[in-house]
Amino acid sequence: MQEHTLHIPSTGRPPVYPFCAIVGQEEMKRALLLNLIHPGIGGVLIRGEKGTAKSTAVRSLAQIMGTRKEVKHCRFSCDPEDPTFWCDQCRQAAEHPAVMGRMRVVNLPVSATEDRVVGTLDMEYALTHGQKKFEPGILAEANRNILYVDEVNLLDDHIVDVLLDAAAMGVNSIEREGVSYCHPSRFILIGTMNPEEGDLRPQLLDRFGLMVEVKAEAEVDRRMEVVRRRLAYENDPAGFAAAYRLPQQQLRQQIEDAQRLLPHVTWSDRCLELIATLSIHLGVEGHRADITLLKTAMTNAALEGRTAVTKQDLLLAARLALPHRMRRQPFEEESLDLDWVRQTVEDYGQI
């Protein structure tokens, strides 16, 4: 029998646990990757019991996110090639020198105050100098980044309302005593929660493009591997991260390739017809689900290196985009009849 020892690592800030080292949880990882490739999918809600790598997976995204252009010295990291969402300073500037930056994971604590989230206006300065002085908040940091909310179901209602407004408009607006200020705030919203600690408001639930249910591994070998890798990481974080450097680089390259391929992915009217059929039969509210389902299917095709949406792409997209949007009675759990969905897709013929 092989023996193992436990080494207590030295203090200091260790490297983030590698995304590629997470055991199992394939749907969760796929949903996160799809949002990195196509932020327009609308984020993802990860629901599950404690200790199922929810937070670890989100924080590990920092190591596989690619670079992007941003305006030099812009505190909102505006895209120099997209004037539609420039801040006031970028609109007024004659030139927009570009530098390379990297997407970040910005945390929104459950205990955050409204001022910390939206930012603050210095009213005394405005009255004295006749100019607006804005102190950025979390929504400013989140622009063009990932906004991560752990225990999102425990957020105060007024903070939820602020998130809904920003997520819908891509802009954060602050108004105090007749003085207003707006800045871009387009972000990928990722939330994690334990359903046992309370549910999520339907208005916020619908704002998540995708939803994933995660559970602890049920196979002995997988559970053993989870423990092995976690202890190996804690014993030597730098060495453990170095062992996964190549897979991480390959995954980052796959994401960048998929982003370039995505504009060339095609779909047919038969594909749209199938999506509409699924949504109508399942009682899905509104049209956001149909749009998200198609975006997800297209992005999955790009991630797989294909230029046309297939039935397998639609099946995956349906599992991720439909359950949390189905009509349900109070206290009734979401329930997607996967067998019916699979059979319907298979019987639909050529798409």
Neighbours of 281 (CB within 10 A): 12
Beta carbons of 59 and 21 less than 8 angstroms apart: no
Nearest 5 degrees, angle CA 250-CA 299-CA 242? 20
- Hey, what are 164's tokens? 């809904």
Pairing status of strand 134-135 against strand 210-214 = unpaired
DSSP 16: P
Task: Quickly count: other Cβ atoms within 10 Å of residue 229's Cβ.
Answer: 18
Q: How many CB atoms neighbour CB 308 within 10 A? A: 14
CA distances 90 to 67, 71, 94, 142, Å, are 20, 8, 8, 17
Active site residues: 288
For 165, what's the count of Cα atoms within 13 Å in the CB-facing half-sphere? 15
Nearest to 159 by CA among 195, 210, 109: 109
